[in-house]
Amino acid sequence: MIEDINKIVAEFTEKVNAEGDLQALEQIKAAYMGKKGPLTGILKNLRNLSPEEKSEVGQAANKAKNAMQEVMENRREGIIRAQIDAKVANEWLDFTLDEESQEIGALHPVSQMQYEIEDIFTSLGFTVQDGPHCELDFYNFEALNIPEDHPARDMQDTFYFENGAILRTHTSAIQVRAMERIKPPFKILGPGKVFRVERLDASHEAAFHQLEGMVVDEDISVANLIHTMKTLLSEIFQKDIKVRLRPGFFPFVEPGFELDINCQICNGKGCSVCKQTGWLELMPCGMVHPNVLRSGGIDAEKYTGFAFGLGLDRLVMMRHKIEDIRHLHSGDLRFSSQFK
Amino acid sequence: MKLSLNWIQEFVDYKLERGAQELGDFISLSVAEVEEVEQVGVALAQVKAIKVLSCAPHPEADRLQLATIDTGSEERTIVCGASNCRPGITVPFADLGAKLPITDKEGKPAILEIKKAKIRGVESTGMLCSEAELGLADSAEGILEMDDSIPAGTYLNTLEQYQGIEDIIFEIDNKSLTHRPDLWGHYGFAREFSAMFDLDLKAYPGENLELKDNGFSLKIDADDCRRYSSLRVKNVSVSDSPQWLQDRLNQSGINTINNIVDLTNFILLELGQPMHAFDIAKLKGQDLIVRHAQNGESFKALDENDYSLTEEDMVIAIGGQAEALAGVIGGDSSAIDESSNEILIECASFKASAVRRSATRHGIRTDSSSRFEKSLDPENTPLALARIWQLIKELCPDAELVGGMGDFYTQAYPEAQIETSYEFIEESLGCEVGKDFILNRLNRLGFDIEGDLKLGIPSWRNTKDIAIPEDIVEEIGRLYGFDNITPEALHTEDKVPQVNQARILERRLKDILSNGYGYTEIMTHPWCGDDELKAFGLSSEGLMTLQNPVSEDAKYMKPSNMPKIIKAVSENLKHFNSVKLYDFNRVYDTSQMVQELLPSERYQFTGALVPKSAGKKDLQTEAFYELKSTIANLLQVAGISTWQLSDYKDAPEWVHPGISCQFRRGRVVLAEIFKLHPAVAAKNKIKSNAYLFCVNFDELAKSKRKLKYEQVSKFPAVPFDITVQAPKQALAGDIQGLIRKGGGKSLLDVEVFSVYEREEDKTVSFRMHFAAKDHTLVHDEIHQLQKNVVAAILKGKYEIPNLPDDLK
Ligand SMILES: [Zn+2]
């Protein structure tokens, strides 16, 4: 009987492995392993056998069933895999096409520069402050110790509204608004757009970007200012930057400075950009004038501080070698989309 | 302003011991910005006189000659192209290696370096020079023929005739002198040299003048005149100025006119004090009044223009006629000319603001007005008159004073003192400078020093420049050299920095829009004009309006950014077939004023999506819904989890009425999206479908982003689908609202999975999930929930086709 079983298994295996169709495979399975199949027939005759033989044949039949099951499964998987392989063999696409391209956009290069610098400052403990574009004379001039007959107040430089308000001419206007909100000691940063009466050309814009910084505490000195500026500029340019301070006059600081850096184009050797001097004028800065502290409600006997301003557009133009400042506000994606 | 080193050296014994550029840098670091350093006459030290021994024709060129010359040490043959080159003459010769500063063909400064050269086949070593090549003239014909008595080999700079020509001219940036009235003349800079290099400053030349009546009666009838001094001189002979005077003026870029006028300008350049001379014969009287002009009073100035004055102008009226616009310009009628014999020299001190306003009002900027604008020291007027009298006598030996100096000094600056200390100065600088250094430099600058440390401010720094101890810190700091201060880290204890949440959100949203959704940020101007407003159906009424716009189309502060975005779309579609852009900017809302005069500045994200036109799917709806989900995601990132969608209320004309919506929270509009109205699109030449959005950032920034974790449910969610029949323009969102109401807390989610448009109406199919937080829903509960949902929908007057009986 065991021989019969083996014969059935062999016959089943041969048929299954020859079959390539899943449905036909199921039929073979039903024919051999179903209720009317040969294996069932053999098991029906078991009762004529001795207990030992019964157990022997029973085990053999079970083993055969398992073996057939396995053959069946393998074959089924084989057929499915063959079908997939056939399908895959026919699948192909032209990877050089861009059917559903999902391009990323870009932040404006001035935003990128601004955020980079903000990050440097915030890591040094500065907080970012904001102020309005349309300003009162008080915040832009008076509180900053800029007297009434100062040329900066000329209509040639400053946009005046019919109601007497102005467009802020520098981010320094943010200083006083910030001092009204927060108490010293503090380190603040005020980035934003500022406006001057300028006709638009390749190097002049009526709207541009500045970033104002201010530190107020007890016993702040010029030496502190120089140190902070050096640290900051080295971070921005990612290398050690040579700086020099020249006397510079700004009514809201005393002493006031122009800070120059060694020309990044010629490394200080002298070129047309730096007018052969090897230096580039980068930022005005200075010790906060006591009158300004007072305007902000700060005790100028107790506190001192320094402030500085940075022109972002020039930095951006220097970094990317942008030839025409008008691109910045053009809204032209051929320009903006390059800064991904 | 141009500064001559020679002139400065007349007042201070400064010996040039460094390069010209280096000295320029030093001035920049210590006093004021030097924009350019020009070396005059440097050629003279490099060029020597030689004798031409013989000339022979050049074998290859008719116009050239071969000249054999005696250089004083050897004989040499060189090629020369000058037609006046001939044997026997003495001419300047630049040997190999000489570097001559010249002006190139375009008028720019250049360096001509003399090198060995082959000229048409003949080697030439050196060059015979013209006056132009020596920098002595702008142009020249032929080589310079010199006195034959000059021995060959003599360097030109050692010759008597060229003494004083070698000079260094510093071009100072006027802006860096705004606060320094004392530096608008050479004498002031000489004082700076004295402090920079610790040298003695010579007294300003000129002998004190006696105060005496000179026949002119003087009345000051204007508050803006501090002092009016004058000098009457007769028997002057007006003629051309001597060379030295012309040179001084030319160097500084001032035209020479005649000796008297030139002398007034000379003093202006030397002391910084403007003066004016009247021809007495041409005056209508001898009563001089400084007064305000009458409105409409006419005045013909030296520039030969007629000006109509206002009562805010100040004039010098003599014999009833305005003869000068105070501090700005003199009058034409009493101008000095060759016939003038007796003159009145005015030397006054006017207030800065008055002069500045007059100059600005009439658009006349003169060397005089630009100096008065800086608040000049009134103590200078007698000095200036003494000096000019000294020089007039030199130039016109017959000249005589009539009377003495007339002087009306009504408004002197009060003497001022600053109390400070060595400690304060050093602590402010963060550097030990030393008491001796401080004392020495303050002394050199003219401070009156008393004790430890009371400082009398010298009159020339007392008009506005120096007033507080911090000003003294600056004086010491710049002379010590800010570069010599060792940087020192801030000791400020760091408080936990306050984080500006709005700026963080701004950056986060930009990051998502750009780096997530592929939008590119642009920037636009804050202004608009009538044309733009009109084109977009906006009114200019009540907008913030500029008095002095750069142009008419930049007159108002924009009330909306959409016109800018629409224009940007239109422009960019010329170059791209799809556009994704945004602007993070402010609009200026005048409906709610702040601090009375200021508009509410509202931050907005405004932007546009123009999908690629080549596509297979229903792009119209797809792009709208894509944008809708983008905006919804931005709101969620800002921490806003719920909002209502509504029709676009009070839509401007650029909004498509049927393809638009607003994200609202109650009456607050958080954001809006819409298809650009086809009519506006057509007007702006936009042929593609454009979808626009506006996110009211300030509203988003108000919301706090709170993340709340909920336990992941262990109990299975049960799905339930239902199809609702609805009118064509019914909002699926409304039905969803009904479902939410019916489902209550056990409704996990609901979404639309298909919309089927039919002839008369449409069907919308929803899939929802029910679940409980604390147990598995049993059959009865599920059935009840389903019934609740159905009831809610039916109550909303929608129909549910094929509704099973057990749910009715
Ligand atoms: Zn350079």
Q: How far apart are CA B632 and CA A330, in angstroms?
A: 29
Q: Tally A–B CB contacts below 8 A.
A: 245
Least confident of A51-65, B237-251, B627-641: A51-65
Statement: residue A253 has pLDDT above 80:
yes
- Alpha-helical runs (H) found in B242-319: 243-251, 259-271
When pLDDT is averaged across residues B57-82 and rounded to a whole number, the result is: 89
Helices and strands per DSSP (H, E), number in chain A: 11, 9
When pLDDT is averaged across residues B231-248 and rounded to a whole number, the result is: 94
Q: State what percent of residues in chain B have pLDDT above 90.
A: 77
Residue A135 forms contact with B (CB below 8 Å): yes
pLDDT at B235: 96
- How close are the terminal C-alpha atoms of chain A, in Å? 79
B6 C-alpha to ligand 1 centroid (Å): 30
Q: How far apart are CA B297 and CA B469, in angstroms?
A: 46
A274 C-alpha to ligand 1 centroid (Å): 4
Which residue in this structure is represented by tokens 């109401």? B741
Statement: residue B619 has pLDDT above 60:
no
Q: Report CA torsion sign: A245, A248, A253, A255.
A: positive
C-alpha distances out from residue B348 to B188, B372, B654, B730, B793, Å = 19, 10, 64, 85, 93
Statement: residue B237 has pLDDT above 70:
yes
CB contact under 8 A, A105 and B32: no
DSSP state of B3: E
Find all residues with CB under 8 Å of A17, minimum gap 6, and list them. A71, A75
Burial group, residue A73, by CB count within 10 angstroms (0-12, 13-18, 19+): exposed
Two tokens at B111?
Answer: 């360096």
Two tokens at B53?
Answer: 């021994």
**For residue A149, what pLDDT band results from cuts at 50, 70 and 90?**
confident
When pLDDT is averaged across residues A73-92 and rounded to a whole number, the result is: 92
pLDDT at B616: 47
Chain B residues touching A208 at Cβ < 8 A: none
- Would you say B497 and B522 are in contact if contact means Cβ atoms under 8 Å apart? no
Least confident of A100-109, B205-214, B234-243, B653-662: A100-109
Statement: residue A196 has pLDDT above 70:
yes
Residues 582-601 of B with CB under 8 A from A: 583-584, 586, 588, 594-595, 597-599, 601
Two tokens at B339?
Answer: 């016939």
pLDDT tens profile B468-514: 999 999 999 999 999 899 999 988 666 666 788 999 999 999 999 99
Q: State what percent of residues in chain A have pLDDT above 90.
A: 54
Two tokens at A60?
Answer: 């053999």
- Give B746-775 as a DSSP string: GEEEEEEEEEEE-SSEEEEEEEEEE--SSS
| Residue (of B142, B61, B52) closest to B90 by Cα position | B52
Q: How far apart are CA A281 and CA A243, in angstroms?
A: 10
Q: How far apart are CA B626 and CA B628, in angstroms?
A: 5
Q: How far is B259 from chain A (nearest CA, A)?
A: 34
A242 C-alpha to ligand 1 centroid (Å): 13
Region of B741 on the Ramachandran plot (φ > 0 left; ψ -120 to 50 alpha; else beta):
alpha
Residue type present at position B767: R
pLDDT tens profile B63-73: 888 999 999 98
Q: How far apart are CA A79 and CA B244, in angstroms?
A: 111
Q: How far apart are CA B790 and CA B786, in angstroms?
A: 6
Statement: residue B74 has pLDDT above 70:
yes
| Residue (of B663, B661, B664) closest to B691 by Cα position | B661
Q: How far is B428 from chain A (nearest CA, A)?
A: 5
Chain A residues touching B32 at Cβ < 8 A: 247
Q: How far apart are CA B483 and CA B462, in angstroms?
A: 28
When pLDDT is averaged across residues A123-127 and rounded to a whole number, the result is: 88
Residues 142-181 of A with CB under 8 A from B: 148-149, 151, 154-155, 159-165, 167
pLDDT at A37: 81
| Residue (of B314, B152, B287) closest to B219 by Cα position | B287
A269 C-alpha to ligand 1 centroid (Å): 6
Taking CA–CA distances from A134, the nearest residue in chain B reads B598
Least confident of A286-290, B251-255, B372-376: B251-255
- Would you say B195 and B444 are in contact if contact means Cβ atoms under 8 Å apart? yes
pLDDT at B620: 62
pLDDT at A36: 81
Chain B residues touching A164 at Cβ < 8 A: 597
Taking CA–CA distances from A148, the nearest residue in chain B reads B353
Least confident of B122-126, B137-141, B286-290: B137-141
| Residue (of B807, B795, B738, B796) closest to B766 by Cα position | B738
CB contact under 8 A, B33 and A136: no
Statement: residue B15 has pLDDT above 70:
yes
Residue B514 forms contact with A (CB below 8 Å): yes
- Give A270-323 as a DSSP string: --TTTTTSSEEEEEEEEEEPHHHHHHTT--TTT-EEEEEEEEHHHHHHHHHT--
ipTM for the predicted complex: 0.84
| Residue (of A203, A198, A209, A213) closest to A158 by Cα position | A198
Chain B residues touching A149 at Cβ < 8 A: 352-353, 356-357
Burial group, residue B65, by CB count within 10 angstroms (0-12, 13-18, 19+): buried
Find all residues with CB under 8 Å of B341, minimum gap 6, and list them. B234, B235, B236, B281
| Residue (of B696, B698, B706) closest to B503 by Cα position | B698
A278 C-alpha to ligand 1 centroid (Å): 5
- Alpha-helical runs (H) found in B674-778: 678-683, 697-702, 732-743
Statement: residue B108 has pLDDT above 80:
no
- How close are the terminal C-alpha atoms of chain B, in Å? 96
Two tokens at B173?
Answer: 């940036």
Least confident of A311-315, B93-97, B125-129, B702-706: B702-706
Residues 369-388 of B with CB under 8 A from A: 373
Which residue in this structure is represented by tokens 């204890």? B493
pLDDT at B614: 52
- Would you say B283 and B230 are in contact if contact means Cβ atoms under 8 Å apart? no
> Phi, psi at residue B804, to the nearest 5°?
-60, 145
pLDDT tens profile A236-252: 888 888 889 999 988 89
Statement: residue B165 has pLDDT above 90:
no
CB contact under 8 A, B492 and A258: no
- Alpha-helical runs (H) found in chain A: 2-18, 22-33, 38-44, 51-90, 109-123, 137-140, 173-181, 222-237, 290-295, 312-320, 333-336
When pLDDT is averaged across residues A110-123 and rounded to a whole number, the result is: 93
Residue type present at position B362: H
**For residue B92, what pLDDT band results from cuts at 50, 70 and 90?**
very high
Average pLDDT, chain A: 89
Least confident of A42-51, A123-132, B95-104, B258-267: A42-51
A282 C-alpha to ligand 1 centroid (Å): 13
- Would you say B364 and B329 are in contact if contact means Cβ atoms under 8 Å apart? yes
Query: In terms of DSSP bridges, do strands B579-594 and B520-522 run parallel, antiparallel, or are they unpaired?
Result: parallel
Q: How far apart are CA B347 and CA B327, in angstroms?
A: 10
Least confident of A105-114, A316-325, B570-579: A316-325
Two tokens at B238?
Answer: 């007006």
Residue B502 forms contact with A (CB below 8 Å): yes
CB contact under 8 A, A254 and B485: no
pLDDT tens profile B725-749: 999 989 999 999 999 999 999 999 9
Least confident of A106-120, A145-159, B750-764: A145-159
| Residue (of B675, B692, B638) closest to B510 by Cα position | B638
Statement: residue B118 has pLDDT above 90:
no
Two tokens at A287?
Answer: 């010790």
When pLDDT is averaged across residues B366-375 and rounded to a whole number, the result is: 94
pLDDT tens profile B663-695: 999 999 999 999 999 999 999 999 889 999 999
pLDDT tens profile B390-408: 999 999 999 999 999 999 9
Helices and strands per DSSP (H, E), number in chain B: 19, 39
Residue A254 forms contact with B (CB below 8 Å): yes
Chain A residues touching B524 at Cβ < 8 A: 329, 331
Nearest to B431 among A129, A164, A223 (CB): A223
Two tokens at B621?
Answer: 């709806």
pLDDT tens profile B414-453: 999 999 999 999 999 999 999 999 999 999 999 999 999 9
Over its C-alpha atoms, chain A yields an Rg (Å, rounded) of 42
Strand ranges of the sheet holding A186-195, from the earlier edge strand across to the other edge: A127-128, A186-195, A207-217, A304-311, A279-288, A253-262, A243-247
DSSP state of B141: S
Q: Could you give the angle at the alpha carbon of B76 between the alpha carbons of B75 and B80, nearest 5°?
A: 135
Residue type present at position B175: K
Find all residues with CB under 8 Å of B596, minimum gap 6, and list them. none
- Would you say B363 and B356 are in contact if contact means Cβ atoms under 8 Å apart? no
- Would you say A116 and B321 are in contact if contact means Cβ atoms under 8 Å apart? no
Residues 175-214 of A with CB under 8 A from B: 182, 185-187, 193, 195, 197-200, 206-207
Average pLDDT, chain B: 92
Residue A107 forms contact with B (CB below 8 Å): yes
A322 C-alpha to ligand 1 centroid (Å): 16
